Structures are given as C-alpha cells and as structure tokens.
A and B are shown apart, each in its own frame.
Chain A
Amino acid sequence: MCHSKEKSDFSYCIGVDESLCTGCMACVLACSYHFNKTFSLTLGAICVYRDLKEGTIEVSISSLCNKCPEHDIPLCMQFCAPEAIFFKRKRESL
C-alpha cells in the first residue's frame, strides 16, 4: 500500500511485479488520463507488452512518471486490480 510519505520521497519510485500483472492496460489508460485527460495507450509513462504465445508480460515505466502529485495514491495504482504496482526504493532498480 502506498503512503504519502513514500510518495513524496524522491528516493522512491513506482515499480511493477510483472508476475502479478494481468495485462489489462488499466494503468496505461489511467496514466494517459493523468497527463492528458484522455485515454490512450501511448500518451502515458507506462508501457505494457503482452506476449500471448509465451504467456509473459513486460512493463516499463518511463522517467515521465511524476507519481501523480495531485492524488494521494497514483492513479495507476488505484486502477491496478491485481495490486501489481507498488512503491520501491530507487536503488532497488539498480
């Protein structure tokens, strides 16, 4: 669960557990809505690629992500039904 302390802390960023992601694209739509007030698969900071031959999902979050400063909880997290999106310390990604 997100905490505002973590959210405002520059040492945290948004991470994704790809094994939990279901590839529904809701986070992508939510992110595009956050930036543009429109729904699009290309205008946000999140990109989801589903490989239905192998049964794998890859998610990438670009540096555009600003953790939705106007929301207590980033919009992508609010729409992530499988709770695959979480906060992580930036150094974890190194």
Chain B
Amino acid sequence: MLVTEGRIARVNLTTLSVTYEPSLKYSDLIGGRALGSYLVFHEVPENSHPLDPENILVFSTSPLTGTLAPCSGRLSISCKNVATGGISFSNAGGHFAPEMKYAGIDHLVILGKSPYPVYLFIHEGVVEIKSAANLWGLDAWETEDLIKQDLNNGALHVASIGQAGENLVTMACIMVDRARAAGWGGCGAVMGSKNLKAVAAHGNRMMEVENPDFFIEICKKMWKKMDGSRTIHLFRKYGLLGTSGAGGIDGSVPQSVRNMEDEVWDSKKTLKMKEIIFKENYETLRLANFSCPVNCSHFYHVKEGPFSGLKLEALKTNVYRAFGTNLDVDNRELILKMNETSNRFGINCDSLSAVIAWIIDVFERGLVNRNETEGRILRWGDGVEIMSLMKDIAFRKNGLGDLLANGVYRASKVMGRGTGRYAMHVKGAGMCEQGVRSFKGWALGIMTSTRGGGHLAGAPNTEQRKMSREEGQKFFNVSTAGDPLAYNGKGRLVAWFERYKVITDTLGLCTSTTYWIDCALLGPDDFAMLLNAATGWDFTGNDLMNLGERIYNIEKSFNTLHANFSRADDMPPYKLISIPVSEGPFKGERLESQAWNSMLDEYYKEHDWDIETGWQTDVCLYGLGLSDVAKKLEKVQRLIKVRPKHVS
C-alpha cells in the first residue's frame, strides 16, 4: 500500500463508535501538525472548554512516517490548549507513530467522552475500544507494561497518560514509549477528560513509496549529510546536553536559573552537571528515535546512592534545565529521579518547573506564608520538598497541590498580592527557557508561539550558534541572524522559522536534522524532494513554506477566536524586562521594552498582521486563500481591514 493510501479513524468516545475515511481526503494538508491544527480549528466549538467532550484530540503522522527518511518517526498531537485556551500542537519521538501507520491508521481523531475508562488498540486497519478499568490509577510506565501483558504482545507501542492526565492537571502530557513526551497544551489532561488512558498500536503493513529508487538514493545522501555536522556529532556523543546543557560544551551558553531570575548559574554547580560527567557515570547505551541517524537519546543507569537501580532514557536539556538550574538542584541523581517521576506521572517538565519555581520564589520573597504552603518551608534546591510537591500536583493532593496543578498563571491569579509578577508564562502556559534575555530572536519566537511558549515553534537558534552575517543573509535574508543582541531583523527571522517549523512538524521530522540545527542539513527544498519521491506529489520548497504560513495563520486565528489574544499577549513577563543578567558575557542584558516593541512591529509586518492590535488583516488572510477564516474573525470584529473596499 502506498504511504498516502492509509485511513483516518474517527473515534467517538461518547457513543463508543469508530468511522473511517481515506487520508487522501486531506492530502493538500499533508498530515502531522497541518492536519491537526486544521481539524482543531474547524471542529472545536468556540465556546467549548478544553476539557469538554467537544474538544478533539488528533494523533497524526505523515507520508514519510515509517520510511527511511531521516528522523521521520515523530507523532503529532493537536487539541484545544488546556493552559492557554488557544491552539495546542505537540509532538513526540519514539516509535509509536510508525507503528500506528504500520497498523493501518495514519491519523486518529478522538471526540467525546467515554462513560468509563478505556484504551484504544489499533491493529490491522481498525481501532478497537477496550476497557481500561485495570489501568486507571497507574502511572504511564505501569500502563504500558500492563497493556503489553494483557495483549500478550511485547512489540506493540503505547501512548498513555499517567496520574496527572487522569487528574486533569493542566500541564499533563502524553507519554510515548515510556520516556518520550508530547508535552504541550495539557494534551494529557484532554485525554484524561475523555476517560482515555492509552492508545496502543501494532501492525505489519508494508509502506510503499511512489518512486522507490529515487527515494532510497535521496535518503542515503541525507543520512550521509548528518555525519558532517559538528552539532550532530555532539548529540551523538553526549546527547542533547552536548550543545546547551550546563552552559554548553564551552560553558558560555546562558541558562535558566531560579525561576528565570538569572541566566548564570553558580560555576561549581554548573561544573557538577557537565555532559561528560553524565556520560561517564551513568550512560550505558545510546538510543535513537525511529529511523534516526542522530541518536541524541541516551540510556542512563544509576548504580549507587539513594536512587541506585534507576534506569531510564534521559536526560533532555529541558529536563536538566527544569529540574536542575531553574529549581537550583545540583544533585545529578535527584534530577534523574525527577525525570523518571515526571515521566511516570506524565507531566510536562517545563510547566511543572515553572509553577514549582514560582511558589518557591514568592515564598522566599515573603509574598506567601507558611499557612498558605501548608506548613512547608520552601527553599531553592530542596529536593525532598520539591519531589513532594511534584506528587501533590500530579494527584491534586491537598490545597496547595490542587492550586499548583492549575499551572503558574492561574495559581498566581488565585494567590494575587503581586505574585503574578513572578509567574513565568507565555499566554498562560508555564515557561522555563534559557537565555531569553541574552538572545533576542530566541525570546521573540518563544513569546509569539501560537501554542504558548516553547522554543520549538519559531524561536531560531542561529544566535546560539553564532551564525555569520553572510550565512544569515544567504539562508534567511537576515544578516543579524547570528547576533544575539540585535533586535533588528529578528521579526523576519522568527516568521521564517515559524513557517518552517510548521512544515517540519507536518512531515513528522525531528528538528535535529534541519536548518534549525545546522544549515548544512535539511531545508525546505530537501523536504519537498523527500515528500515528492515518497508520494508522487509536486510540492516545491516554496509551496511548503506557503503551507506553513497558512497553518500558522489558522493557529493564530484560533487563538484570537478562542482565547482573545492580542498584542499584549506577545509581551514578555515582568522579570525578563526588569531584572538583568547578573554576570558573564551577557551581563546587564534584559529585554528592553521599546526595542521589543519595534521587533514585534517588524514581526507583525512580516506576517502582514496589524501592528497596533496584533490581529490578522484581510490582506493577509484573503491572500493566503483563507476566506473562511477571515469571515469568522470578521464576525467577532477581530479582522483588521486594510484593503480597498472594491477588492472582493
């Protein structure tokens, strides 16, 4: 069967029924994030709550999934965002997405709410709804183990929620293959709200591509390209810590310290966290996602101390940042234990860190007292107390756990008394990012992200890799792309990466094989070549980038319609504007309000959006062929009209 000839399964959990339609119905959207965002925009009612049965959860793959295209195994998950009320898209590595496709289903659209806990089993082109009575209450790892045992099939792959998803924690994520998370938007809580504990898949379908000889030759060249990249060499050697963890390989990368108060961590603590120490002390195996030549994931085994026996696939840079620097924890084994715990409970580590760092921060500032922390004395780096808080949040235990489970933005609204000033969030979603004061374009991409933060929506990392003026000009038409302190040009740069990242996510590719990491790797024309060879379609790199712009606009419209976001929601939190970096090469850096606003103006102009409000214009949407989107915005007076009236 050709890679384009699979099926979409629509599962209605309220009626416990499944219908099917051909994937080709949506071939103009390709798959992945583009399909997910499109379906969420068109099918989720504007007045619905993200945890209502009306929200849909879309699991989607691409025509490249399950083939030898490099790093093509990512699973895309879309829904209405629990933290922001806007759009959510997220993706996870592992081997689940190709397995779903081998099982005969390209995309899964889940609607409604089951009357009792269930899980889905995808096999031989059908989706079976099975009771999850014995799974409810288990963590994500136990769930995966028990499903494999119940179905007597060790080869299947599972996407599941832990207790955080069941308890509707706003930062709950969906765990794939134990350690891979679709972390954003509270998609785990959406799954929990539907009484859906897991999706398991196993299949033996053969994947045929349209032009096999050409496809395999392209794949060979692309795999070879990876060998020439220094960044990929570092990933292979040290995992993701090789480039940005612990200040990076040369110690100069800004970090995220104590609720993002600073970007420089104590040097003794930083030295304890060097990538080489993790490698030499804990690494037992290098792992890769499906069809991935990068192998940035490493398996660690703790052999002594209080966490002796701990074995897990770890440690992503953001996990190190979330449980290390941002909470001031300098105990390596404890960080690995927190990594395991968050995987088991199924909680996004960034947002979890944001809310725990915030409560410690406001407690230390005297804005919250011991009565409000239920007698706890909260301190930076106190692993015992932090682990206890993590559990209370996942189980919504006690008043404090229940409050924090709502995320940093809502918790600070309830707490009041000036605590909101220290809540690190983007559009309501908790944030834990490094170098946001030091790298201006990076910061812009995080703040404007339609899903509410995260550096994998539009943030460029050209500044971190010190891209030359010539290279910036050549690839992005932005000569300042590699200048961290320049605000000028970054609006254009971020808009480019937003379109580009839509396409990366739509094709189910990992960003580690792309321009985002190294311009010697895959760009839009490479994407088009792979896609065309696999499908027989006729996309150019520009066509793909245009699709990226259309989808980004659909996501932006969803945010306007559902969450009423505007320019004010693209502004950085107080701390980033007011508290400068304390020392190091970026000493004194912060986000200057006036310069930020100029950068934002440039960004809006690049997308053809209105500078004053941040809303979309008729010129932009009609120009992209999105008249249906424009009409919806016009109905609620959120469409800015700039074109002459006689133009229809």
In whole angstroms, how far apart are the Cα atoms of A24 and B223 in the complex? 13
In whole angstroms, how far apart are the Cα atoms of A39 and B205 in the complex? 9
- Distance in Å: Cβ of A47 to nearest Cβ of chain B: 10
B88 at the interface (CB under 8 A from A): no
On chain B, the residues within 8 Å of A41 by CB distance are 102, 204
B291 to A24, Cβ gap below 8 A?
A: yes
Within 8 A of A (CB), among B243-291: 284-291
Given contacts A40-B102, A81-B226, contact A29 B68 (CB under 8 A): yes
On chain A, the residues within 8 Å of B295 by CB distance are 22, 24, 81-82
On chain A, the residues within 8 Å of B68 by CB distance are 26, 29-30, 33, 39, 79
A56 to B66, Cβ gap below 8 A?
A: no
- Closest chain A residue to B295 by CB distance? A22
Within 8 A of A (CB), among B176-215: 177-179, 204-209, 212
On chain B, the residues within 8 Å of A8 by CB distance are none
- Closest chain B residue to A57 by CB distance? B285
A64 at the interface (CB under 8 A from B): no
A40 to B286, Cβ gap below 8 A?
A: no
Given contacts A40-B204, A81-B226, A82-B295, contact A25 B67 (CB under 8 A): no
On chain B, the residues within 8 Å of A61 by CB distance are none
A53 at the interface (CB under 8 A from B): yes
On chain B, the residues within 8 Å of A39 by CB distance are 66-68, 206-209
- Closest chain B residue to A26 by CB distance? B291
A4 at the interface (CB under 8 A from B): no
Residues 19-49 of chain A, each 1 if its beta carbon lies under 8 Å from chain B, else 0: 1101111100110110011111111000000
B287 to A23, Cβ gap below 8 A?
A: yes
B292 at the interface (CB under 8 A from A): yes
On chain B, the residues within 8 Å of A20 by CB distance are 286
B291 to A38, Cβ gap below 8 A?
A: no
Residue among A25, A40, A54 making CB contact with B291, cutoff 8 Å: A25
On chain A, the residues within 8 Å of B204 by CB distance are 40-42
A52 at the interface (CB under 8 A from B): yes
On chain A, the residues within 8 Å of B33 by CB distance are none
A38 to B207, Cβ gap below 8 A?
A: yes
Residue among A23, A33, A43, A56 making CB contact with B288, cutoff 8 Å: A23
A81 to B206, Cβ gap below 8 A?
A: no
- Distance in Å: Cβ of B402 to nearest Cβ of chain A: 32
B313 at the interface (CB under 8 A from A): yes
On chain A, the residues within 8 Å of B209 by CB distance are 39
On chain B, the residues within 8 Å of A37 by CB distance are 208, 212
State the interface size on chain B (CB cutoff 8 A): 40
- Closest chain A residue to B95 by CB distance? A25
Within 8 A of A (CB), among B388-434: none
On chain A, the residues within 8 Å of B179 by CB distance are 52
In whole angstroms, how far apart are the Cα atoms of A4 and B361 in the complex? 65
B220 at the interface (CB under 8 A from A): yes
- Closest chain A residue to B311 by CB distance? A55
In whole angstroms, how far apart are the Cα atoms of A25 and B216 in the complex? 15
Within 8 A of A (CB), among B278-334: 284-295, 299-301, 311, 313
A78 at the interface (CB under 8 A from B): yes
Given contacts A38-B208, A42-B204, A81-B226, contact A55 B293 (CB under 8 A): no
B212 to A33, Cβ gap below 8 A?
A: yes
Q: Which of B209, B288, B300 has the most CB of A within 10 A?
A: B288
- Closest chain B residue to A78 by CB distance? B220
- Distance in Å: Cβ of B343 to nearest Cβ of chain A: 11
A52 to B206, Cβ gap below 8 A?
A: no
On chain A, the residues within 8 Å of B206 by CB distance are 32, 36, 38-40, 43
On chain A, the residues within 8 Å of B236 by CB distance are 81-82
Q: Which of B145, B177, B293, B313 has the most CB of A within 10 A?
A: B293
On chain A, the residues within 8 Å of B301 by CB distance are 55
On chain B, the residues within 8 Å of A23 by CB distance are 287-288
On chain A, the residues within 8 Å of B208 by CB distance are 37-39
- Distance in Å: Cβ of B92 to nearest Cβ of chain A: 14
B290 to A55, Cβ gap below 8 A?
A: no
On chain A, the residues within 8 Å of B299 by CB distance are 52, 55
Given contacts A33-B68, A55-B299, contact A22 B178 (CB under 8 A): no
- Distance in Å: Cβ of A18 to nearest Cβ of chain B: 9
In whole angstroms, how far apart are the Cα atoms of A79 and B70 in the complex? 10
On chain B, the residues within 8 Å of A78 by CB distance are 220, 223
On chain B, the residues within 8 Å of A36 by CB distance are 206
In whole angstroms, how far apart are the Cα atoms of A42 and B204 in the complex? 7
In whole angstroms, how far apart are the Cα atoms of A84 and B67 in the complex? 20
In whole angstroms, how far apart are the Cα atoms of A37 and B67 in the complex? 11
On chain A, the residues within 8 Å of B205 by CB distance are 40
On chain B, the residues within 8 Å of A56 by CB distance are 285
Q: Which of A22, A36, A38, A53 has the most CB of B within 10 A?
A: A22
Residues 78-115 of chain B, each 1 if its beta carbon lies under 8 Å from chain A, else 0: 00000000000000000100000010000000000000
Within 8 A of B (CB), among A57-94: 57, 75, 78-79, 81-82
On chain A, the residues within 8 Å of B178 by CB distance are 52-53
In whole angstroms, how far apart are the Cα atoms of A22 and B297 in the complex? 9
On chain A, the residues within 8 Å of B288 by CB distance are 22-24, 81
Given contacts A24-B295, A38-B206, A43-B206, contact A55 B286 (CB under 8 A): no
A-B contact pairs, 24 of them (CB 8 A): A22-B285, A23-B287, A24-B291, A25-B95, A25-B290, A32-B206, A33-B68, A33-B212, A36-B206, A37-B212, A39-B66, A39-B67, A39-B208, A40-B207, A50-B287, A52-B177, A52-B179, A52-B299, A54-B311, A55-B301, A56-B285, A79-B220, A79-B223, A81-B227
Given contacts A39-B209, A54-B311, 16 further A-B contacts (CB under 8 A): A25-B291, A33-B68, A33-B216, A37-B212, A38-B208, A39-B66, A39-B208, A41-B204, A52-B313, A56-B285, A75-B216, A79-B220, A81-B223, A81-B288, A81-B293, A82-B236
7 shortest interchain CB distances as A-B pairs: A81-B293, A24-B288, A55-B299, A22-B288, A38-B206, A22-B295, A39-B207
Residues of B that sit less than 8 Å from A by CB? 66-68, 95, 102, 145, 177-179, 204-209, 212, 216, 219-220, 223, 226-227, 236, 284-295, 299-301, 311, 313
